[in-house]
Amino acid sequence: MVIQRDLSNQGVIQIAGSLTHKTDSLQVKFDPVLPGQGTKKDWETIVKHPEKAQFVEKVALSGGWYKLSIRSFKNGQITKTSTVEHVGVGEVFVIAGQSNAEGNSDFEGSEIGTTEDRVSVVDYKDIYMDEDLLPFQFSPLRNNTKIGPYNPVPWFWARMAENLVKKYNVPVLLYGAAVGGTGSDLWFGSMKGTDYSKVLGRQIKFVGSPYDVLRRTLQNYVSRTGIRALLWQQGESDAFTPAYTYYTRLKDIVAQTSLDIEGDLSWIVAIGSRTPNPTQVAYAQQLLIDNVDKVYQGPNTDILWGGENRADGIHFHKEGLKRAADLWSDAIIDNNYLGKIRPVAAKGLIEFSVSCPQNLEERVSLTAPENYESYQWSDGTSDLTAGLNSESISLKAKKNGIVYFSPEITFQQNAFNKEQITLVGDSEFCEGSPEHYLTASTSFAKWNTGEEGQKINPTLSGTYSYFWKNLYGCTYKSDEIAVKVNPKPEPKIEYSTGQNRFCENESVTLQTTQNFNNYVWSNGETSELSAYQSEGSHYLRVTDHLGCSSDTLHFELEALKAPQKPIIEQTSPFSLNSQETLQWFKDDNNLDYSSTQFKPAEPGAYYAKAKIAYTMEGSPELVCYSEKSDILEFSQADFNPPIQIWPNPSSDQIFIEMLNEPQDLNITIADKSGKNVLTSVIKYSEGKFASQSISHLPPGLYTVKLGSRSNYVSHKLIVH
């Protein structure tokens, strides 16, 4: 078939049909039949998630001759592919008039068609033109092919159409609606309702002819393909018709054709009057062309005369057929009619609405739109609604005489099969168990959870079901299945440090806030408690008393840097010192004392640690300690006597340190004869050692007494 293109070389292809199975989408593409015969249109989605079996879609296409391919998809896979070998966007004409438009097989050359595949016709003629029998199938215009619905032979129109195809490189579709032996009186009178079939039965075969031949062609065929123009070749039977009478009749006929197709239909009118000589009707035809809107100048076929052109002085034959064809194509081409005449577009197709039964045992009802005057279903009914009970059904409906058509919709019994719901596994199971799930017998299930698809894994206890739509858009509900889903355990972790940070030279212990049957820590531990000494990403999985496993709980640990090992020194008999503030320990016991200096008070092993306090918003302060310093041992002897001097020997001064709280001391220094060489009172300053100058003493051995009169200690001092 050929669809009429517009002035921008575009045509709208209506793609219609019905589905035989549930489909996710439909795609079409158009490939030129031969290289250069059109503009390729690659795969394009025209329907997504169709809700009903019938589809009517439109695709814009450039002028050309194409192979149409259509394919359906389900779950990403191609399920079916179909093709239409020849679809055209080009030029559509209706031929009307009398015998030199209709053609007659009695005349030589009348049977000659064309080898050009792009000239299409309906190869059919019914002299009674029963509208219920009119086919909508197209063929190339070969030899002896009819130009349906009414022209019996190719005549000169085959050659004319071939010339247009060669010129414009688009296909041409011809409809034949000419009736031999008919003058303007018959065309006008039949248009007004006069019945000529009883008195002129030789050429008028049914009530309404000849005009109804044209009317029915417009309203049954052109309504589906569109049209560029009507080609009028007539006049021989009007040799004695007054010019103005002919003009007024044709003027009204032109107007009526636009009404009958509900569009501004243009006419191209030939000058044709020979019987065998030209007559005054040629003047009337020119009058029509010059004064009526949408009527255009066709060829002057009166210039064709003589035996080689006309068999009987009237009808074309032999060379006359060829020359008539060329005159017609030249008139169309030379006047650029295909670039200036605005065509009439095709009418839309009928789309049904679907009334769904309450249960699957009943059948779908199809309802047509209400804005038509009459309805004719293919099952013989004529109501607004029909039941889809047989293999297929389609509809023709009329509005203002124009026949509108629906695509055929097929009945698929399997669309009414009940879909099943199945539980795989047990009715009680742990959340997330892949071996327990629900399936639908259709991949188009919409579950009561909001999920879509053929399979779901229930996450909550409850009753499950799904809805599905069959081919015709009818929604049904599956049976219900109840399941109990035990939720996954959700462990929460506590840290011994109160946070996910710990000191690098220590460990952090983790435990859950709940009790579980089984634990799997990332460090291999399987108990409630797990100690970690490395930072980074770790995880935990648990299993509860119902055997349900948690999702993997991932957590991060951060190791905080500890300070370096400190250095401590014994800088006096009873004092330990460092260059930094340290935490002091005795026998591995924290003395809860921080300072740069420490004075042991009793025997033991003493050491210190450096520390760094870390803070983080929302978490407790975390103190990291260094490894312990070297250990300094103090025995009981190191504290006797409780007052010590140093250095010894000395040359200039000595220092005095008391074990207990420093206080003022009496000091006496005597030489080896026992003579006192120095007597004084030593004053202590807080936090400092006492000192005594001995620089004035000559070298020798001396005795130093320290303390009060009743309680003192004595030391031998060497002065050098």
Q: Dump pLDDT digits (tens) for 343-375.
A: 999 999 999 888 888 777 777 889 999 999 999
CA-angle at 638, arms to 635 and 640, nearest 5°: 120
Same-domain status, 403 and 269: no
Judge if 606 and 665 occupy the same domain.
no
What SS3 state is found at 604?
Answer: strand
d(Cα 467, Cα 621) in Å, to the nearest integer? 58
- Nearest CA-CA partner of 209 in 180, 235, 236: 180
What are the residues whose beta carbons fall under 8 Å from the beta carbon of 448, sequence distance 6 or more?
Answer: 464, 465, 466, 467
Residues 183 and 265 in one domain: yes
How far, in Å, CA of 253 to CA of 244, rounded?
14
Q: Is the pLDDT of residue 15 over 80?
A: yes
In-domain check, residue 179 = yes
pLDDT class of 178 with cuts at 50, 70, 90 = very high
Q: What gap in Å lies between CA 500 and CA 510, rounded to an integer?
A: 9
User: Does the structure show a pLDDT above 90 at 38?
Assistant: yes
Q: Is 151 helix (H, G, I), strand (E, B) or coil?
A: strand
CB 53 within 8 A of CB 18: yes
* pLDDT tens digit sequence for 228-282: 999 999 999 999 999 999 999 999 999 999 999 999 999 999 999 999 999 999 9
Domain termination site, one of 486, 521, 544: 486
Is there a single domain that holds both residue 149 and residue 260?
Answer: yes
Which distant-in-sequence residues (6+ apart) come within 8 Å of 669 by Cβ?
676, 677, 678, 679, 692, 694, 697, 702, 703, 704, 705, 717
Q: Whose CA is closest to 105, among 348, 261, 311, 401?
A: 311
Quote the pLDDT of residue 412.
Answer: 82
Choose the final residue of a domain: 28, 57, 86: 86
The pLDDT of residue 474: 85
Q: Which two tokens stand for residue 133?
A: 């029998």
Q: Does residue 602 share a domain with residue 518?
A: no
Same structural domain for residues 120 and 236?
yes
Residues 171 and 309 in one domain: yes
The verdict on residue 374 lying in a domain is yes
Whether residue 170 is found in the same domain as residue 216: yes
- What's residue 113's pLDDT? 97
Is residue 562 assigned to a domain?
Answer: no
pLDDT for 612 equals: 94
Is the model more confident about 389 or about 209? 209
Average pLDDT over the chain, rounded to an integer: 93
Which 8-state DSSP code applies to residue 588?
T
- Which pLDDT belongs to residue 688? 63
**Could you tell me if residue 310 is inside a domain?**
yes
279 close to 273: Cβ distance less than 8 angstroms: yes
pLDDT for the residue numbered 685? 64
**132 & 250 share domain:** yes
Strand order in the sheet with 462-464: 428-430, 481-486, 462-464
Provide the pLDDT for residue 516.
96
Q: Within a domain: residue 311?
A: yes
Cβ count near 112 (within 10 Å): 19
Tell me, yes or no, whether 348 lies in a domain: no
Q: Are residues 240 and 202 in the same domain?
A: yes
For the chain, the domain total comes to 7
Domain that holds residue 82: 2-86
Q: Say if residue 126 is in the same domain as residue 271.
A: yes
- The residue-averaged pLDDT of 533-558 equals 96
Rank 516-525, 641-650, 681-690, 702-711 by mean pLDDT and report only the highest.
Answer: 516-525
Please check whether residue 347 lies inside any domain of the structure.
Answer: no
Taking the C-alpha atoms of residue 318 and residue 110, their distance in angstroms, rounded to an integer, is 8
- Binning pLDDT at 50, 70 and 90, where does residue 686 land? low
Q: Quick one: which of 707, 703, 697, 699 has its CA closest to 715? A: 703
pLDDT in tens, 502-518: 999 999 999 999 999 99
CATH code of the domain containing 451 = 2.60.40.10
Q: Is the pLDDT of residue 22 over 90?
A: no
Strand, helix or coil at 551? coil
Q: Name the percent of the chain lying above pLDDT 90.
A: 83
Helix and strand numbers (H, E) in the chain are: 9, 51
Of 287, 318, 340, which residue sits at a domain end?
340
**Residue 477 has what pLDDT?**
92
pLDDT category at 709 given cuts 50, 70, 90 is low
β-partners of residue 297 are 269
Task: Encode pLDDT of 429-470 as tens digits.
Answer: 999 999 999 999 988 899 999 999 999 999 999 999 999 888
Tokens of 129: 């033109």
Q: Is residue 345 part of a domain?
A: no
Query: Which pLDDT value is given to residue 682?
Result: 85
Say if residue 716's pLDDT is above 90: yes
> What are the pLDDT digits (tens) for 592-609?
999 999 999 899 999 999
Residue 116, classed as helix, strand or coil, is coil
Residue range 470-498: mean pLDDT, rounded: 93
Q: Are residues 271 and 164 in the same domain?
A: yes
